[in-house]
Amino acid sequence: MDFPLLPTLNSCPQRLGDFDTLSKALDYAAEGVTGFNFHDGRGVVTQVLSYRRLRRDALALARRLTHAGLRRGDRVAIVAETHPDVVTAFFGCQYAGLVPALVPLPAAFGGREIYVEHIRRLALAAHASALFVPDAMRNWLAPFAREAGLKAFGSVAALPDGPDGGPLPIPTQEDEIAYLQFSSGSTRFPVGIAVTQRALMANISAILRHGLRVVPEDRAVSWLPLYHDMGLVGFLLAPLAGQVTVDFLSSHEFARRPHVWLRLLSANRGTLSYSPSFGYELCTRRARLGMAKGPPLDLSAWRVAGIGGDMIRSHVLDHFAETFAADGFRAEAFVPSYGMAEATLAISFAPLGTGVATDIVDLDQLEREDIAQPATSGSRRTRAFVLCGLPVPGTEVEIRHAAGFPRPGRPLPEREVGRILVRGPGLMRDYEQQPEESAAALLPDGWLDTGDLGYLLNGQLVITGRAKDLIIVNGRNIWPQDLEWSVEQAVTSVRTGDTAAFAVEEDGVEQVVMLIEARGAPDSDTRTKLVAAAAGTLRARHGLEACIVLAPPGSLPHTSSGKLSRMAARALYLAGAFTMRAPVLEPVSE
């Protein structure tokens, strides 16, 4: 069945997030003709969900949820495939005064039992009274549903109808929780981040008005998962609150056919789309394979090519811009940003239309003194960091001395590296029913300790890494991504994302370990050469002796949002999970 695409231009005046709640935002969006288009792996639209229909279906579902026995404030877990039913369930909760919690789909590896246990733990952590799952997964989770005594379980379509008519429940109000966003932390089991309607709408307004400067001609395209803050807030809730049409492609299909993302941007004249650095690299490496057939690519309408969700790799973006310049892509469209679920989403955006700006610093001074001193001709080693822009209006950022952790100390001047703290209207209420976790992150004076490290430059924020990932060897502060990038660039058989660096204590000494996924290294001789190349790179570029451990392809752990989890990799290493050990090489004498 063919579905006509929902249009870009709306039939009612645009409002940019100036609503008290999500339900009021949808009430207004439903007056127009825009909405969500869902595409398959070939780029063909398979379902459409106008905002008008979404409101109608969500209101009907709110009645059914109430009829099922759910009461105001109850939690509803939703397995977040990229599908209209997930969106309807999310907004049905808004109209019923319930709290949705989007949880991830099964990963391509790990097995059914591991996934079922993961969902079970998430649902229990959310204190869920209901669980919506795709029909194909119903039998997987039915035993848990019976054990937990859920009031509703299964697909949205299978939920029994309630009586027609009757008063609707009161929608979620400003100071009530809009949703639970599960953190993708790696040192502990993920916890639910409680975001209120007030915080959500404040952040959405900042995104639409200041970060992206949305106009009526804008159209969004997204492959980001809906259970991640960038996918949920950035490309589901914010577009709805700005009455913007979105073309969705599932994350699974993007991973298989990244060129479809670009095809959708081209064919539908998409103007707004985001990705972590790895998405742009995947397109550069593989998208041309899918471009041999079909009409020419035209990316000239793409005005905001956002980057976020992980450390920003400027060389990856440079390569993408060079590769697709002939197709109309402009490097000035890149918009580096910084955000996190604990701040709803957005904290800072680079200025629009300026592309990627970098600060090249002396790496030796950075490691020894925590000062981002500009590199000079005499600098032995340098490092380029991407500027992530000014904080959005109403949000403050401070860099504080890390020595006082877990209560960071004095504010630092520009170019001194410390812990990043944020204060503003978009902060989470707390970690749901986790008072110790909440107290560690939310300071008494209203600041949020992000757990990230960085510095300020002319008021713009520069991210250098995660505090928990920092490696300290002989008084040097070493960022693991620097080690990873060096090996990935220098060793041709190692791809971006194939490495994980961390430190362990061995015999009272801090030892740097690097895990490398051994692609195309089937025999001992090839593995020996791979280890020698990696060890030599770290020795030459960083002056480090590292223990190189080879791992099977695809075995490095990632969070639900696709980020490398170094802490989980370290835990697996210490548990003996990686047995494809590299040959032991003697250090080369100078």
Express each pLDDT in 365-402 by its tens digit. 999 999 999 999 999 999 999 999 999 999 999 999 97
The single residue listed with the structure tokens 């490309």 is 235
Q: How far is the C-alpha of 273 from the C-alpha of 285, rounded, in Å? A: 19
Describe the crossing of helices 277-286 and 259-267 by its angle, rounded to 10 degrees.
90
Residue 581: pLDDT above 70?
A: no
3-state secondary structure 171-208: CCCCCCEEEEEECCCCCCCCCEEEEEHHHHHHHHHHHH
Give pLDDT tens digits for 408-455.
678 999 999 999 999 999 999 999 999 999 999 999 999 999 999 999
Q: How far is the C-alpha of 276 from the C-alpha of 308, rounded, in Å? A: 5
Contact predicate 307/327, CB 8 Å: no
In the chain, the amino acid numbered 186 is S
Give pLDDT tens digits for 437-450.
999 999 999 999 99
The answer to which of 224-228, 252-256, 383-387, 574-578 has the lowest mean pLDDT is 574-578
Give pLDDT tens digits for 239-266.
999 999 999 999 999 989 999 999 999 9
Q: Span 316-337, mean pLDDT?
A: 97
Q: Span 58-79, mean pLDDT?
A: 96
Residue 91: pLDDT above 70?
A: yes
Residue 520: pLDDT above 50?
A: yes
pLDDT value, residue 466: 84
Task: Give the tokens for residue 258.
Answer: 């990244």
Q: Distances in Å between the alpha carbon of 282 and those of 79, 183, 252?
A: 26, 25, 13
Residue 267 phi, psi dihedral angles, 5° rounding: -65, -35
pLDDT bucket at 562, cuts 50 / 70 / 90: low
- Please give the distance of CA 567 from its chain centroid, rounded to a whole number: 17
pLDDT more than 70, % of the chain: 91
Q: Span 486-510, mean pLDDT?
A: 84
Who has greater pLDDT, 101 or 117?
Answer: 101
**Domains in the chain, ordered, with CATH?**
22-256 (3.40.50.12780), 471-574 (3.30.300.30)
pLDDT bucket at 2, cuts 50 / 70 / 90: low
Q: Span 350-366, mean pLDDT?
A: 96
User: Which range among 308-312, 428-432, 492-496, 525-529 has the greatest average pLDDT?
Assistant: 428-432
pLDDT value, residue 583: 44
Q: Distances in Å between the alpha carbon of 523 and those of 515, 534, 550, 576?
A: 18, 17, 12, 21
pLDDT value, residue 186: 34
pLDDT value, residue 185: 45
Give pLDDT tens digits for 177-207.
999 998 654 334 668 999 999 999 999 999 9
pLDDT value, residue 123: 93
Q: Span 60-77, mean pLDDT?
A: 96
Least Cα distance to 580 among 549, 556, 558, 557 occurs for 549
3-state secondary structure 420-489: EEEECCCCCCEECCCHHHHHHHECCCCCEEEEEEEEEECCEEEEEEEHHHCEEECCEEECHHHHHHHHHH
pLDDT value, residue 469: 84
Q: Which helix (H) or strand (E) holds 383?
A: strand 382-386
The single residue listed with the structure tokens 């040192």 is 187
